[in-house]
Amino acid sequence: MLTGLIFATEEAEHQPGVLAATLPFGGMTLIEYQARLLVAAGAGQLLVAVGRVTPALAAAVNRIGRRGATVDIVRSAEEAKAKVHPLATIVALADGLVTTDAVVEGMALEPTDTLLVTPTGDATSVERVDAEHCWAGVATLSIDRLDDAARLPREYDFQSTLLRVATQARAAHVLLPGKAVRSGHGVERDAGTLEVRSKDVLASLAEQRTGWIDRYVFTPVSRLLLPLLVRRKVPDVAIGAAGGVLGVAGLAAVPFWSAGAATVLLFLAMVVLSAGSLLGWLRGEDGHAAMQERGVEVFGVAGVLGIGLVQSLIVQTGTAGVLALVGVAATILARRSPAISPALGRDAGDDIGPARTVRAGGNIDDRAGVGRAPRGRHTCARHRKFAARGLA
C-alpha cells in the first residue's frame, strides 16, 4: 500500500499568515497539485502534516477528499504512524515542492528509504543531507522512519526530523534527473516565482505526448493556451463543450460547405480538446480528460474519412477515399507501435551515461535513475548556502 505524506507547515514569503501549500498553482492550490501527483502514482491514502490549519488549507483538504482519496491531517510523526497501515510505503513531498508526475511515479517505484537528491544547494533542494548532496524534496520511506521520528521530541520540525532519521538509517540517494529541473522541479514559497514554475510544469505536461502530430502541432499550441486557460480559471467541461461544438460543426461542413472550412473547424476542435484534456488531468478530472482525448481521435478519424469520401463522390473516383482510409490505418498502426526512446540513462542534450544511485557510505550502483523519469545530470545555474534545520 502506498501512502503519500505532504508537509504544509511553512508560511509563504511576503504573505504573513498564508501557508505556502495554499498558494495558487495551475488553477488550484499547490497542495492539491501535490496530492494529484501522489494519487496518480498510486497512493490510496494521503497524510497532510501541519502546524496549524488555516481556512484555505481546510478547504483544499476537503476538495482533495472529494476526489476519492482518503486524507488525514497529522501534526507529528506519532500521529502519522497511528494513521498509516503497518505495511505501507510512504512517499513524502517537501513543503512547497513543485515537481512532475514522472519524478513522483519514479520515486514510488524505488525501494523504501530512498532520497531524491541534487548535488548542490539551489532552488531545487530543501536542505543538505551530507557534504555532497541536498535533499530534492521527494523521499520513499518505510514506516520504521516514522517510528524513529516519533521517539524524538515533538518540538523538532517534523520534516527535518524525518529527513535526518532517514539519513541516519543510511537511506539510498537517487540523483535528480536533469529534465526534471528544466520542467520546473523546485521548492518555492513565493507566489510570483511559483507562477513561473507552474508555466514550466504546464509546458512539460504538454510535451509528454510523443505522437508526431502532438509534438509538432498540438503541443506548441497547448503551451500557449494552457497558461491562459489556467489564469482565467476556465472549467475543463466548458473547454470540452467548445471543442465538441467546433468538431460537430466541422463534420457538418464536410458535405454542406467545403473541405477547407471543415479542415479548419476540425483542427480548432482538436486543438481545444487537446488543451482541455491536459487541463482536466492537471485538475484531477481524469474522466473529462479521457473523454476529450477520445474526442480528438474521433473527430480526426471522422474528418479525414468524411472529407475523403465526399471528394471521391465529387470527382467520381475512389482515390481520395482510399488515401483517407490508408492514412487513418497508418496513423492507428503508428500510435500502437512502441515509440523509440533515447538510450537508457540519456537525456536530450546530455552526453553522459545513466544517472547513478549513490548510496550512503559511498557505494554506487550502476542502475537507472528515478524509475521512468528521464535520466540526466543536474547542472545548476545558481548556488546558495543551505543551513540544515532541525537535527543537524
Residue from 47, 43, 52 nearest 74 by CA: 47
Over residues 228-244, mean pLDDT: 81
Q: How far is residue 176's CA from residue 137's CA, in Å, rounded to a whole number?
A: 10
Over residues 109-138, mean pLDDT: 85
Q: How far is residue 44's CA from residue 3's CA, in Å, rounded to a whole number?
A: 6
Helix (H) / strand (E) element for 7: namely strand 2-8
Ramachandran angles phi, psi of 166, nearest 5° = -65, -40
Q: How far is residue 140's CA from residue 109's CA, in Å, rounded to a whole number?
A: 9
Report residue 104's pLDDT band, with 50, 70 and 90 as the boundaries.
very high
Which residues, 6+ apart, have CB-to-CB distance to 268 below 8 Å?
246, 250
In terms of C-beta distances under 8 Å and separation of at least 24 residues, what long-range contacts does 261-269 make, across chains too? 262/303, 262/306, 262/307, 263/303, 263/307, 266/299, 266/300, 266/303, 269/243, 269/244, 269/245, 269/295, 269/299
Q: Do 141 and 112 form a contact (C-beta atoms < 8 A)?
A: yes
Q: pLDDT of 162-212, one tens digit each?
A: 999 999 999 999 998 888 887 788 888 888 788 777 777 776 666 666 566
Cell of 265: 473547424
Q: Which residue has the higher pLDDT, 324 or 42?
A: 42
**Does 290 score more than 80 pLDDT?**
yes
Task: Say what the pTM is.
Answer: 0.72
Least confidently predicted of 27-36, 90-99, 216-225:
216-225
End-to-end C-alpha distance for the chain, whole angstroms: 31
Q: What percent of the chain has pLDDT over 70?
A: 79
Q: Which residue has the higher pLDDT, 214 or 322?
A: 322
| Cα–Cα distances in angstroms (integers) from residue 126 to residues 22, 273, 381, in the given order | 18, 37, 16
Residue from 119, 116, 113, 115 nearest 133 by CA: 119
Which residues, 6+ apart, have CB-to-CB distance to 7 below 8 Å?
21, 49, 92, 93, 94, 95, 158, 159
65, burial (CB in 10 Å: exposed 0-12, middle 13-18, buried 19+): middle
